Structure 1
Amino acid sequence: MITITKKLIALDLDGTTLNNDSQISPKTAAAIHAAEQQGYIVSIVTGRPNRLSENFYDELNLTTPMINFNGNLGILPHQEWDREYQYTINKEIVTELLEKSKPLGLSLIAVEGRNMFLANRGLSTGFGFFPSTLETNQVLNRKSLKENPISITVQVEPELKAGLINFVQQQFGDEVEVSPWGGPNPIVEIATKGVHKSTGLKFLADYYGILQKDIIAFGDEGNDLTMMQYAGTGVAMKNAIDKIKDLADDVTDFTNDDDGIANYFEDHMDIAVGQ
Protein backbone atom coordinates (compact mmCIF):
# COMPACT_ATOMS: atom_id res chain seq x y z
CA MET A 1 0.00 0.00 0.00
CA ILE A 2 1.39 3.41 -1.03
CA THR A 3 1.04 6.19 1.53
CA ILE A 4 0.69 9.66 0.04
CA THR A 5 2.29 12.35 2.21
CA LYS A 6 -0.03 15.28 2.77
CA LYS A 7 1.56 18.71 2.49
CA LEU A 8 0.18 22.06 3.59
CA ILE A 9 0.84 25.42 1.95
CA ALA A 10 0.11 28.37 4.26
CA LEU A 11 -0.31 31.70 2.50
CA ASP A 12 -0.17 35.18 3.95
CA LEU A 13 -2.25 37.67 1.96
CA ASP A 14 -0.87 41.23 1.92
CA GLY A 15 2.56 41.49 0.34
CA THR A 16 2.53 37.77 -0.44
CA THR A 17 -0.47 36.32 -2.26
CA LEU A 18 -1.91 39.75 -3.11
CA ASN A 19 -0.15 42.11 -5.49
CA ASN A 20 0.42 45.78 -4.74
CA ASP A 21 -3.15 46.55 -5.84
CA SER A 22 -4.43 44.11 -3.21
CA GLN A 23 -5.56 41.68 -5.89
CA ILE A 24 -4.85 38.05 -6.74
CA SER A 25 -3.34 37.92 -10.20
CA PRO A 26 -4.67 35.34 -12.68
CA LYS A 27 -1.32 33.52 -12.65
CA THR A 28 -1.22 33.33 -8.84
CA ALA A 29 -4.81 32.05 -8.75
CA ALA A 30 -3.94 29.43 -11.38
CA ALA A 31 -0.88 28.38 -9.37
CA ILE A 32 -2.94 27.86 -6.22
CA HIS A 33 -5.50 25.79 -8.12
CA ALA A 34 -2.69 23.74 -9.65
CA ALA A 35 -1.19 23.09 -6.21
CA GLU A 36 -4.54 21.81 -4.96
CA GLN A 37 -4.94 19.58 -7.99
CA GLN A 38 -1.50 18.16 -7.25
CA GLY A 39 -2.63 17.22 -3.74
CA TYR A 40 -1.44 20.13 -1.63
CA ILE A 41 -3.73 21.53 1.06
CA VAL A 42 -3.77 25.33 0.71
CA SER A 43 -4.89 27.63 3.51
CA ILE A 44 -4.93 31.38 4.05
CA VAL A 45 -3.20 32.49 7.27
CA THR A 46 -3.59 36.26 7.53
CA GLY A 47 -3.56 39.16 9.91
CA ARG A 48 -6.68 40.46 8.21
CA PRO A 49 -10.10 40.06 9.79
CA ASN A 50 -12.41 37.59 8.10
CA ARG A 51 -14.55 40.45 6.78
CA LEU A 52 -11.61 41.53 4.60
CA SER A 53 -10.35 38.12 3.50
CA GLU A 54 -13.41 35.98 2.76
CA ASN A 55 -13.62 37.61 -0.70
CA PHE A 56 -10.16 36.24 -1.56
CA TYR A 57 -11.07 32.85 -0.06
CA ASP A 58 -14.14 32.78 -2.32
CA GLU A 59 -12.20 34.00 -5.35
CA LEU A 60 -9.82 31.05 -4.95
CA ASN A 61 -12.72 28.62 -4.34
CA LEU A 62 -11.01 27.34 -1.20
CA THR A 63 -12.74 24.87 1.12
CA THR A 64 -10.04 24.69 3.81
CA PRO A 65 -10.20 26.44 7.19
CA MET A 66 -8.98 30.03 7.18
CA ILE A 67 -6.90 31.65 9.93
CA ASN A 68 -7.54 35.34 10.66
CA PHE A 69 -6.36 38.01 13.07
CA ASN A 70 -2.81 36.59 13.16
CA GLY A 71 -3.89 33.23 14.57
CA ASN A 72 -6.65 34.46 16.88
CA LEU A 73 -9.54 33.09 14.78
CA GLY A 74 -9.89 29.82 12.88
CA ILE A 75 -13.05 29.33 10.83
CA LEU A 76 -14.68 27.69 7.87
CA PRO A 77 -15.98 30.83 6.13
CA HIS A 78 -19.72 31.33 5.66
CA GLN A 79 -20.69 28.46 7.94
CA GLU A 80 -20.80 27.23 11.49
CA TRP A 81 -18.09 24.70 12.31
CA ASP A 82 -17.66 22.67 15.47
CA ARG A 83 -13.87 23.03 15.27
CA GLU A 84 -13.94 26.83 15.05
CA TYR A 85 -11.86 28.64 17.65
CA GLN A 86 -11.23 32.20 18.75
CA TYR A 87 -9.17 34.03 21.36
CA THR A 88 -10.78 37.15 22.79
CA ILE A 89 -9.78 40.15 24.90
CA ASN A 90 -11.56 41.48 27.98
CA LYS A 91 -13.80 44.29 26.75
CA GLU A 92 -12.92 46.37 29.84
CA ILE A 93 -9.56 47.02 28.17
CA VAL A 94 -11.46 48.71 25.34
CA THR A 95 -13.41 50.81 27.82
CA GLU A 96 -10.21 52.04 29.45
CA LEU A 97 -8.69 52.94 26.09
CA LEU A 98 -11.83 54.89 25.20
CA GLU A 99 -11.69 56.79 28.47
CA LYS A 100 -7.98 57.62 28.03
CA SER A 101 -8.02 58.11 24.25
CA LYS A 102 -7.14 61.81 24.38
CA PRO A 103 -4.04 61.66 26.64
CA LEU A 104 -2.88 58.49 24.84
CA GLY A 105 -3.22 60.21 21.46
CA LEU A 106 -5.68 57.71 20.01
CA SER A 107 -7.53 59.06 16.98
CA LEU A 108 -9.14 55.70 16.16
CA ILE A 109 -10.19 52.73 18.24
CA ALA A 110 -11.69 49.81 16.32
CA VAL A 111 -12.67 46.45 17.77
CA GLU A 112 -13.52 43.32 15.85
CA GLY A 113 -14.81 39.80 16.22
CA ARG A 114 -15.91 37.22 13.71
CA ASN A 115 -19.25 38.99 13.29
CA MET A 116 -18.49 42.35 14.90
CA PHE A 117 -16.98 45.63 13.79
CA LEU A 118 -17.20 48.72 15.99
CA ALA A 119 -15.19 51.94 15.89
CA ASN A 120 -15.25 55.28 17.66
CA ARG A 121 -15.21 57.07 14.30
CA GLY A 122 -14.78 56.57 10.57
CA LEU A 123 -11.37 57.01 9.02
CA SER A 124 -11.12 59.12 5.86
CA THR A 125 -7.80 57.48 5.00
CA GLY A 126 -8.72 53.98 6.09
CA PHE A 127 -5.72 52.25 4.50
CA GLY A 128 -8.30 49.95 2.87
CA PHE A 129 -9.03 48.33 6.23
CA PHE A 130 -11.51 50.68 7.91
CA PRO A 131 -14.68 52.35 6.61
CA SER A 132 -14.69 56.14 6.15
CA THR A 133 -18.21 56.43 7.55
CA LEU A 134 -19.91 54.26 10.14
CA GLU A 135 -23.37 52.79 10.23
CA THR A 136 -25.33 53.57 13.39
CA ASN A 137 -24.81 50.03 14.66
CA GLN A 138 -21.02 50.28 14.14
CA VAL A 139 -20.37 53.12 16.59
CA LEU A 140 -18.19 52.00 19.49
CA ASN A 141 -19.16 52.85 23.06
CA ARG A 142 -19.60 51.02 26.34
CA LYS A 143 -23.22 50.17 25.50
CA SER A 144 -22.60 48.88 21.98
CA LEU A 145 -19.66 46.68 23.00
CA LYS A 146 -21.61 43.65 24.16
CA GLU A 147 -19.00 40.94 23.75
CA ASN A 148 -15.27 40.52 24.12
CA PRO A 149 -13.46 41.38 20.89
CA ILE A 150 -10.80 39.32 19.13
CA SER A 151 -8.76 42.34 18.14
CA ILE A 152 -8.34 46.00 19.10
CA THR A 153 -6.80 48.28 16.50
CA VAL A 154 -5.83 51.85 17.30
CA GLN A 155 -4.42 54.75 15.34
CA VAL A 156 -2.05 56.75 17.52
CA GLU A 157 -0.20 60.02 17.07
CA PRO A 158 3.27 58.92 15.85
CA GLU A 159 5.14 60.70 18.63
CA LEU A 160 2.92 59.02 21.25
CA LYS A 161 3.15 55.47 19.89
CA ALA A 162 5.92 54.37 22.26
CA GLY A 163 3.96 55.75 25.21
CA LEU A 164 0.82 53.87 24.19
CA ILE A 165 2.71 50.60 23.84
CA ASN A 166 4.28 51.12 27.25
CA PHE A 167 0.89 51.92 28.82
CA VAL A 168 -0.78 48.79 27.43
CA GLN A 169 2.14 46.58 28.41
CA GLN A 170 2.21 47.93 31.95
CA GLN A 171 -1.55 47.83 32.49
CA PHE A 172 -2.54 44.69 30.61
CA GLY A 173 0.71 42.94 29.71
CA ASP A 174 -0.35 39.67 31.37
CA GLU A 175 -3.38 39.42 29.06
CA VAL A 176 -2.45 41.01 25.74
CA GLU A 177 0.44 41.90 23.50
CA VAL A 178 0.92 44.90 21.25
CA SER A 179 1.98 44.69 17.61
CA PRO A 180 2.67 47.82 15.54
CA TRP A 181 1.69 47.38 11.90
CA GLY A 182 4.41 47.20 9.29
CA GLY A 183 4.78 50.12 6.92
CA PRO A 184 4.27 53.85 7.48
CA ASN A 185 0.84 53.80 9.13
CA PRO A 186 0.76 54.71 12.87
CA ILE A 187 -1.44 51.72 13.65
CA VAL A 188 -1.07 49.41 16.64
CA GLU A 189 -2.93 46.14 17.11
CA ILE A 190 -3.72 44.59 20.48
CA ALA A 191 -4.55 40.89 20.76
CA THR A 192 -4.36 37.95 23.15
CA LYS A 193 -0.90 37.35 24.60
CA GLY A 194 0.99 34.40 23.16
CA VAL A 195 -1.27 33.86 20.14
CA HIS A 196 0.39 34.23 16.74
CA LYS A 197 0.14 32.92 13.21
CA SER A 198 1.99 29.81 14.39
CA THR A 199 -1.03 29.11 16.66
CA GLY A 200 -3.26 28.93 13.61
CA LEU A 201 -0.74 26.96 11.59
CA LYS A 202 -0.41 24.33 14.34
CA PHE A 203 -4.21 24.12 14.44
CA LEU A 204 -4.30 23.44 10.69
CA ALA A 205 -1.50 20.87 10.91
CA ASP A 206 -3.24 19.03 13.75
CA TYR A 207 -6.59 19.14 11.96
CA TYR A 208 -5.17 17.60 8.79
CA GLY A 209 -2.63 15.35 10.49
CA ILE A 210 0.31 17.02 8.76
CA LEU A 211 3.86 16.97 10.12
CA GLN A 212 5.73 20.24 10.55
CA LYS A 213 8.31 19.17 7.98
CA ASP A 214 5.52 18.96 5.40
CA ILE A 215 4.38 22.56 5.86
CA ILE A 216 5.49 25.34 3.51
CA ALA A 217 4.65 28.86 4.68
CA PHE A 218 4.97 32.06 2.65
CA GLY A 219 5.19 35.55 4.15
CA ASP A 220 6.76 38.98 4.03
CA GLU A 221 6.24 40.87 7.31
CA GLY A 222 7.03 40.58 11.00
CA ASN A 223 3.69 38.95 11.83
CA ASP A 224 4.66 36.04 9.57
CA LEU A 225 7.77 35.20 11.59
CA THR A 226 6.28 32.60 13.96
CA MET A 227 4.42 30.87 11.13
CA MET A 228 7.56 30.59 9.03
CA GLN A 229 9.57 29.30 11.98
CA TYR A 230 6.93 26.66 12.76
CA ALA A 231 6.75 25.44 9.16
CA GLY A 232 9.22 22.91 7.85
CA THR A 233 9.99 25.37 5.06
CA GLY A 234 9.54 29.09 5.56
CA VAL A 235 9.67 31.04 2.30
CA ALA A 236 10.13 34.82 2.37
CA MET A 237 8.96 36.94 -0.51
CA LYS A 238 11.60 38.87 -2.44
CA ASN A 239 9.85 42.02 -1.14
CA ALA A 240 9.92 40.81 2.49
CA ILE A 241 11.54 42.78 5.29
CA ASP A 242 15.16 41.82 5.96
CA LYS A 243 14.39 40.12 9.28
CA ILE A 244 12.08 37.67 7.54
CA LYS A 245 14.51 37.05 4.69
CA ASP A 246 17.34 36.39 7.14
CA LEU A 247 15.38 33.77 9.06
CA ALA A 248 13.64 32.12 6.09
CA ASP A 249 14.68 28.81 4.58
CA ASP A 250 14.28 30.25 1.11
CA VAL A 251 13.39 33.50 -0.68
CA THR A 252 11.26 33.83 -3.82
CA ASP A 253 12.96 35.05 -6.98
CA PHE A 254 10.11 37.46 -7.67
CA THR A 255 8.07 39.92 -5.60
CA ASN A 256 4.38 39.72 -4.76
CA ASP A 257 3.78 42.15 -7.64
CA ASP A 258 5.51 39.83 -10.12
CA ASP A 259 3.73 36.56 -9.28
CA GLY A 260 6.31 35.52 -6.70
CA ILE A 261 4.11 32.71 -5.36
CA ALA A 262 3.26 31.32 -8.79
CA ASN A 263 6.84 31.42 -10.03
CA TYR A 264 8.09 29.75 -6.85
CA PHE A 265 5.52 26.98 -7.25
CA GLU A 266 6.71 26.40 -10.81
CA ASP A 267 10.44 26.73 -10.32
CA HIS A 268 10.97 25.20 -6.87
CA MET A 269 7.99 22.90 -6.22
CA ASP A 270 7.43 21.40 -9.68
CA ILE A 271 3.85 22.61 -9.76
CA ALA A 272 2.80 23.12 -13.37
CA VAL A 273 0.87 26.37 -13.57
CA GLY A 274 -1.59 26.77 -16.42
CA GLN A 275 -3.73 29.84 -17.00
Structure 2
Amino acid sequence: MEYKLIALDLDGTTARRNRISNQNITAIKWAMARGIKVIIATGRSIGAVRKVAKKLGIIEKKMPVIAFNGGLIYDFTKEKILKQTVFSNAELINIFNMANKYKAQLWAYSVDNEHLSYVNTKHSLMVKWMSFHTKQKIKLIHNPSTLQDRAYKFVVSGKKENVLNFKTKILVKYEFNIFNWSYLPNQSLNLEISQKGSDKKDALEYLTKIYNIQPSEVIAMGDGSNDYEMLKWAGVGIAMGNVKNRLKNISDDTNTYYRRSGVAKIINKYFKK
Protein backbone atom coordinates (compact mmCIF):
# COMPACT_ATOMS: atom_id res chain seq x y z
CA MET A 1 0.00 0.00 0.00
CA GLU A 2 1.20 3.47 -0.90
CA TYR A 3 0.35 5.86 1.93
CA LYS A 4 -0.24 9.47 0.93
CA LEU A 5 -1.14 11.27 4.15
CA ILE A 6 0.03 11.22 7.77
CA ALA A 7 -2.32 12.64 10.43
CA LEU A 8 -0.58 13.58 13.66
CA ASP A 9 -1.97 14.41 17.06
CA LEU A 10 0.36 16.85 18.83
CA ASP A 11 0.50 16.60 22.62
CA GLY A 12 1.57 13.17 23.80
CA THR A 13 2.18 12.00 20.22
CA THR A 14 4.43 14.40 18.30
CA ALA A 15 5.32 16.97 20.95
CA ARG A 16 5.30 17.88 24.60
CA ARG A 17 4.00 21.42 24.72
CA ASN A 18 6.18 22.92 21.95
CA ARG A 19 9.17 20.62 22.36
CA ILE A 20 9.71 18.22 19.48
CA SER A 21 12.64 15.87 19.05
CA ASN A 22 15.06 16.50 16.19
CA GLN A 23 14.33 12.98 14.94
CA ASN A 24 10.62 13.75 14.62
CA ILE A 25 11.26 17.07 12.87
CA THR A 26 13.68 15.48 10.41
CA ALA A 27 11.37 12.56 9.62
CA ILE A 28 8.30 14.76 9.09
CA LYS A 29 10.20 17.11 6.78
CA TRP A 30 11.62 14.09 4.93
CA ALA A 31 8.08 12.80 4.32
CA MET A 32 6.74 16.13 3.06
CA ALA A 33 9.74 16.58 0.75
CA ARG A 34 8.61 13.37 -0.97
CA GLY A 35 5.07 14.58 -1.53
CA ILE A 36 3.48 12.91 1.50
CA LYS A 37 0.94 15.22 3.11
CA VAL A 38 1.29 15.74 6.86
CA ILE A 39 -1.75 17.10 8.71
CA ILE A 40 -1.63 18.19 12.34
CA ALA A 41 -4.87 17.15 14.08
CA THR A 42 -5.01 18.59 17.59
CA GLY A 43 -7.30 19.80 20.32
CA ARG A 44 -5.25 22.99 20.56
CA SER A 45 -6.34 26.42 19.36
CA ILE A 46 -4.85 27.94 16.22
CA GLY A 47 -2.70 30.29 18.26
CA ALA A 48 -1.28 27.38 20.23
CA VAL A 49 -0.45 25.33 17.14
CA ARG A 50 1.21 28.02 15.00
CA LYS A 51 4.71 27.74 16.50
CA VAL A 52 4.77 23.95 16.15
CA ALA A 53 3.44 24.08 12.60
CA LYS A 54 6.22 26.46 11.64
CA LYS A 55 8.89 24.34 13.34
CA LEU A 56 7.73 21.21 11.48
CA GLY A 57 7.63 22.95 8.11
CA ILE A 58 3.86 22.52 7.84
CA ILE A 59 3.29 26.18 6.98
CA GLU A 60 6.13 26.24 4.46
CA LYS A 61 4.58 23.25 2.67
CA LYS A 62 1.17 24.96 2.70
CA MET A 63 -0.49 22.19 4.69
CA PRO A 64 -3.71 23.07 6.54
CA VAL A 65 -4.05 22.20 10.22
CA ILE A 66 -6.95 20.74 12.20
CA ALA A 67 -7.55 22.48 15.54
CA PHE A 68 -10.12 22.25 18.35
CA ASN A 69 -10.55 18.49 17.75
CA GLY A 70 -11.87 19.10 14.26
CA GLY A 71 -13.84 22.25 15.04
CA LEU A 72 -11.55 24.33 12.82
CA ILE A 73 -9.53 23.65 9.68
CA TYR A 74 -7.12 26.50 9.06
CA ASP A 75 -4.76 27.55 6.26
CA PHE A 76 -1.82 29.45 7.77
CA THR A 77 -0.49 30.39 4.34
CA LYS A 78 -3.60 32.39 3.49
CA GLU A 79 -4.57 33.06 7.14
CA LYS A 80 -7.97 31.67 6.22
CA ILE A 81 -10.56 29.42 7.83
CA LEU A 82 -11.33 26.53 5.49
CA LYS A 83 -14.08 25.01 7.63
CA GLN A 84 -15.43 25.50 11.13
CA THR A 85 -18.03 23.82 13.35
CA VAL A 86 -18.90 25.86 16.44
CA PHE A 87 -21.25 26.08 19.39
CA SER A 88 -24.08 28.59 18.91
CA ASN A 89 -24.61 31.52 21.23
CA ALA A 90 -27.57 29.76 22.83
CA GLU A 91 -25.48 26.63 23.45
CA LEU A 92 -22.68 28.72 24.92
CA ILE A 93 -25.07 30.36 27.37
CA ASN A 94 -26.76 27.06 28.29
CA ILE A 95 -23.47 25.29 28.96
CA PHE A 96 -22.29 28.13 31.21
CA ASN A 97 -25.56 27.95 33.14
CA MET A 98 -25.29 24.19 33.53
CA ALA A 99 -21.64 24.37 34.61
CA ASN A 100 -22.57 26.92 37.28
CA LYS A 101 -25.50 24.79 38.43
CA TYR A 102 -23.36 21.68 38.89
CA LYS A 103 -20.31 23.55 40.22
CA ALA A 104 -18.03 22.59 37.33
CA GLN A 105 -15.14 24.81 36.26
CA LEU A 106 -15.54 25.92 32.65
CA TRP A 107 -13.27 27.33 29.95
CA ALA A 108 -14.70 28.31 26.54
CA TYR A 109 -12.71 29.34 23.45
CA SER A 110 -14.19 32.41 21.75
CA VAL A 111 -15.03 32.35 18.04
CA ASP A 112 -15.09 36.12 17.63
CA ASN A 113 -11.67 36.68 19.24
CA GLU A 114 -9.03 33.95 18.79
CA HIS A 115 -7.02 35.35 21.73
CA LEU A 116 -9.91 35.25 24.21
CA SER A 117 -11.52 32.56 26.37
CA TYR A 118 -14.46 32.79 28.74
CA VAL A 119 -14.37 31.25 32.24
CA ASN A 120 -16.75 30.92 35.18
CA THR A 121 -13.93 31.16 37.76
CA LYS A 122 -10.40 32.54 37.83
CA HIS A 123 -9.25 30.57 40.84
CA SER A 124 -9.24 26.92 39.71
CA LEU A 125 -6.10 24.96 38.88
CA MET A 126 -7.49 24.25 35.42
CA VAL A 127 -7.96 27.94 34.59
CA LYS A 128 -4.52 28.86 35.91
CA TRP A 129 -2.92 26.00 33.96
CA MET A 130 -4.79 26.89 30.75
CA SER A 131 -4.00 30.60 31.09
CA PHE A 132 -0.29 29.89 31.47
CA HIS A 133 0.02 27.38 28.63
CA THR A 134 -2.37 28.86 26.07
CA LYS A 135 -1.47 32.52 26.69
CA GLN A 136 -5.16 33.32 26.14
CA LYS A 137 -6.77 36.37 27.67
CA ILE A 138 -9.61 35.29 29.94
CA LYS A 139 -12.90 37.00 30.72
CA LEU A 140 -14.82 36.04 33.84
CA ILE A 141 -18.53 35.63 33.10
CA HIS A 142 -20.83 36.48 36.01
CA ASN A 143 -24.05 36.49 33.99
CA PRO A 144 -24.03 34.02 31.05
CA SER A 145 -27.05 35.68 29.43
CA THR A 146 -24.83 38.66 28.57
CA LEU A 147 -22.64 36.53 26.28
CA GLN A 148 -23.01 37.43 22.61
CA ASP A 149 -20.25 35.20 21.21
CA ARG A 150 -20.03 31.56 20.07
CA ALA A 151 -17.47 28.93 21.13
CA TYR A 152 -15.12 26.47 19.45
CA LYS A 153 -14.57 24.15 22.42
CA PHE A 154 -15.13 23.80 26.15
CA VAL A 155 -12.76 22.45 28.79
CA VAL A 156 -14.41 21.26 32.00
CA SER A 157 -12.80 20.38 35.32
CA GLY A 158 -13.66 19.84 38.95
CA LYS A 159 -14.74 17.28 41.50
CA LYS A 160 -15.59 13.97 39.88
CA GLU A 161 -19.18 13.92 41.14
CA ASN A 162 -19.84 17.46 39.92
CA VAL A 163 -18.32 16.91 36.49
CA LEU A 164 -20.13 13.59 35.98
CA ASN A 165 -23.48 15.20 36.88
CA PHE A 166 -22.73 18.02 34.46
CA LYS A 167 -21.77 15.51 31.73
CA THR A 168 -24.93 13.47 32.25
CA LYS A 169 -27.17 16.51 31.90
CA ILE A 170 -25.29 17.75 28.84
CA LEU A 171 -25.70 14.40 27.05
CA VAL A 172 -29.43 14.34 27.82
CA LYS A 173 -29.88 17.68 26.08
CA TYR A 174 -27.20 17.57 23.35
CA GLU A 175 -25.30 15.12 21.13
CA PHE A 176 -21.89 16.70 21.72
CA ASN A 177 -18.56 14.91 21.57
CA ILE A 178 -17.08 14.61 25.07
CA PHE A 179 -13.48 13.48 25.54
CA ASN A 180 -11.33 12.75 28.56
CA TRP A 181 -8.75 15.49 29.04
CA SER A 182 -5.57 14.38 30.76
CA TYR A 183 -3.33 17.41 31.26
CA LEU A 184 -4.26 17.97 34.91
CA PRO A 185 -3.60 14.70 36.75
CA ASN A 186 -4.26 16.21 40.18
CA GLN A 187 -7.82 17.13 39.34
CA SER A 188 -10.57 14.58 39.93
CA LEU A 189 -12.00 14.70 36.43
CA ASN A 190 -11.31 16.73 33.32
CA LEU A 191 -13.26 16.77 30.05
CA GLU A 192 -13.32 18.64 26.77
CA ILE A 193 -16.49 19.15 24.77
CA SER A 194 -16.67 19.56 21.01
CA GLN A 195 -19.66 20.21 18.78
CA LYS A 196 -21.45 17.29 17.10
CA GLY A 197 -19.78 16.65 13.74
CA SER A 198 -16.62 18.22 15.09
CA ASP A 199 -14.12 15.37 15.32
CA LYS A 200 -10.59 14.91 13.99
CA LYS A 201 -11.95 12.10 11.83
CA ASP A 202 -14.64 14.38 10.31
CA ALA A 203 -12.06 17.06 9.52
CA LEU A 204 -9.71 14.52 7.93
CA GLU A 205 -12.55 13.18 5.79
CA TYR A 206 -13.17 16.71 4.55
CA LEU A 207 -9.51 17.22 3.60
CA THR A 208 -8.96 13.79 2.03
CA LYS A 209 -11.90 14.36 -0.30
CA ILE A 210 -10.27 17.60 -1.45
CA TYR A 211 -6.95 15.79 -2.00
CA ASN A 212 -8.65 12.74 -3.57
CA ILE A 213 -7.04 10.48 -0.97
CA GLN A 214 -8.77 7.32 0.30
CA PRO A 215 -8.94 6.48 4.04
CA SER A 216 -6.88 3.36 3.26
CA GLU A 217 -4.06 5.67 2.17
CA VAL A 218 -3.94 7.48 5.53
CA ILE A 219 -1.75 6.75 8.55
CA ALA A 220 -2.96 8.40 11.77
CA MET A 221 -1.19 8.57 15.15
CA GLY A 222 -2.66 9.55 18.50
CA ASP A 223 -2.80 8.96 22.23
CA GLY A 224 -6.11 10.27 23.56
CA SER A 225 -9.85 9.63 23.51
CA ASN A 226 -10.19 12.50 21.03
CA ASP A 227 -8.09 10.38 18.59
CA TYR A 228 -10.33 7.31 18.83
CA GLU A 229 -12.52 7.86 15.74
CA MET A 230 -9.55 9.10 13.70
CA LEU A 231 -7.54 5.94 14.42
CA LYS A 232 -10.53 3.71 13.63
CA TRP A 233 -11.16 5.51 10.34
CA ALA A 234 -7.58 5.67 9.00
CA GLY A 235 -6.12 2.91 6.87
CA VAL A 236 -3.50 2.47 9.58
CA GLY A 237 -4.37 3.77 13.05
CA ILE A 238 -1.39 3.86 15.39
CA ALA A 239 -1.67 4.23 19.17
CA MET A 240 1.25 5.59 21.12
CA GLY A 241 2.90 3.41 23.75
CA ASN A 242 1.51 5.48 26.64
CA VAL A 243 -2.19 5.00 25.79
CA LYS A 244 -4.89 2.95 27.51
CA ASN A 245 -6.12 -0.37 26.14
CA ARG A 246 -9.33 1.09 24.68
CA LEU A 247 -7.30 2.95 22.08
CA LYS A 248 -4.88 0.08 21.52
CA ASN A 249 -7.77 -2.32 20.93
CA ILE A 250 -8.98 -0.46 17.84
CA SER A 251 -5.51 0.41 16.48
CA ASP A 252 -3.72 -1.42 13.68
CA ASP A 253 -0.30 -0.86 15.19
CA THR A 254 1.25 0.47 18.38
CA ASN A 255 4.11 2.88 18.69
CA THR A 256 6.79 3.64 21.23
CA TYR A 257 6.39 6.48 23.73
CA TYR A 258 6.31 9.94 22.19
CA ARG A 259 9.39 10.94 24.20
CA ARG A 260 11.32 8.32 22.22
CA SER A 261 10.59 9.96 18.84
CA GLY A 262 7.76 7.58 18.04
CA VAL A 263 6.60 9.58 15.02
CA ALA A 264 10.01 9.25 13.39
CA LYS A 265 10.04 5.52 14.05
CA ILE A 266 6.67 5.03 12.35
CA ILE A 267 7.72 7.09 9.33
CA ASN A 268 10.87 4.98 9.08
CA LYS A 269 8.83 1.79 9.39
CA TYR A 270 6.13 2.57 6.80
CA PHE A 271 7.92 4.85 4.34
CA LYS A 272 11.62 3.96 4.38
CA LYS A 273 11.33 0.26 3.64
Q: Is the pair's TM-score, using the shorter chain for normalization, greater than 0.5? A: yes
Secondary structure of 1:17's aligned partner? coil
Secondary structure of 1:203's aligned partner? helix
Q: Are the aligned partners of 2:96 and 2:106 in contact in 1 as well (CA < 8 Å)?
A: no
**What's the counterpart of residue 30 of structure 1?**
26
Matches of 2:79 and 2:136, distance apart in 1:
26
Q: Deviations over 1:146-202 (max 9, x none)?
A: 3221212222322222211111112x324x333332463422222212331110111
**What's the counterpart of residue 41 of structure 1?**
37
- Offset at residue 58 of structure 1 (A): 1.3
Matches of 2:107 and 2:138, distance apart in 1:
15
Q: Which runs of 5+ in 2 are unaligned?
A: none
**What's the counterpart of residue 180 of structure 1?**
180
**What's the counterpart of residue 224 of structure 2?**
221
Q: Are the aligned partners of 2:41 and 2:66 in contact in 1 as well (CA < 8 Å)?
A: yes
After alignment, is 223-232 or 116-125 more displaced?
A: 116-125
Secondary structure of 1:110's aligned partner? strand
Secondary structure of 1:98's aligned partner? helix
Q: Are the aligned partners of 2:97 and 2:144 in contact in 1 as well (CA < 8 Å)?
A: no
User: Within 5 A, what are the aligned runs for 1:146-185?
Assistant: 146-170=148-172, 172-174=173-175, 176-182=176-182, 184=185, 185=187
Secondary structure of 1:57's aligned partner? helix
**What's the counterpart of residue 67 of structure 2?**
68
Q: Are the aligned partners of 2:122 and 2:128 in contact in 1 as well (CA < 8 Å)?
A: no
Q: Are the aligned partners of 2:240 and 2:258 in contact in 1 as well (CA < 8 Å)?
A: yes
**What's the counterpart of residue 52 of structure 1?**
48
**What's the counterpart of residue 85 of structure 1?**
83
**What's the counterpart of residue 122 of structure 1?**
122
- Offset at residue 239 of structure 1 (A): 1.6
Q: Are the aligned partners of 2:12 and 2:258 in contact in 1 as well (CA < 8 Å)?
A: yes
Q: Are the aligned partners of 1:89 and 1:149 in contact in 2 as well (CA < 8 Å)?
A: yes
- Offset at residue 17 of structure 1 (A): 0.3
Q: Are the aligned partners of 1:6 and 1:39 in contact in 2 as well (CA < 8 Å)?
A: no
**What's the counterpart of residue 233 of structure 2?**
230
- TM-aligned CA distance change 1:137 to 1:263, over 3 Å: closer
Secondary structure of 2:125's aligned partner? coil
Q: Count how many residue pairs are aligned between Structure 1 and Structure 2.
A: 262
Matches of 2:242 and 2:18, distance apart in 1:
15
Q: Deviations over 1:102-144 (max 9, x none)?
A: 4301233333337242223435634886115998873445477
**What's the counterpart of residue 250 of structure 1?**
253
Matches of 2:201 and 2:137, distance apart in 1:
36
- TM-aligned CA distance change 1:213 to 1:123, over 3 Å: farther
- Offset at residue 72 of structure 1 (A): 1.2
Q: Are the aligned partners of 2:108 and 2:151 in contact in 1 as well (CA < 8 Å)?
A: no
What is the TM-score when the length of structure 2 is the normalising length? 0.84
Amino acid at match of 1:18: A
- TM-aligned CA distance change 1:137 to 1:188, over 3 Å: closer
**What's the counterpart of residue 197 of structure 2?**
194
Secondary structure of 2:130's aligned partner? coil
- TM-aligned CA distance change 1:92 to 1:251, over 3 Å: same
Q: Are the aligned partners of 2:107 and 2:127 in contact in 1 as well (CA < 8 Å)?
A: no
Q: Which runs of 5+ in 1 are unaligned?
A: none
The alignment's C-alpha RMSD in Å is 2.8
Amino acid at match of 1:110: A
Q: Are the aligned partners of 1:220 and 1:239 in contact in 2 as well (CA < 8 Å)?
A: yes
Matches of 1:200 and 1:263, distance apart in 2:
25
- Offset at residue 95 of structure 1 (A): 2.1
- Offset at residue 248 of structure 1 (A): 0.8
After alignment, is 64-73 or 137-146 more displaced?
A: 137-146
Matches of 1:150 and 1:236, distance apart in 2:
26
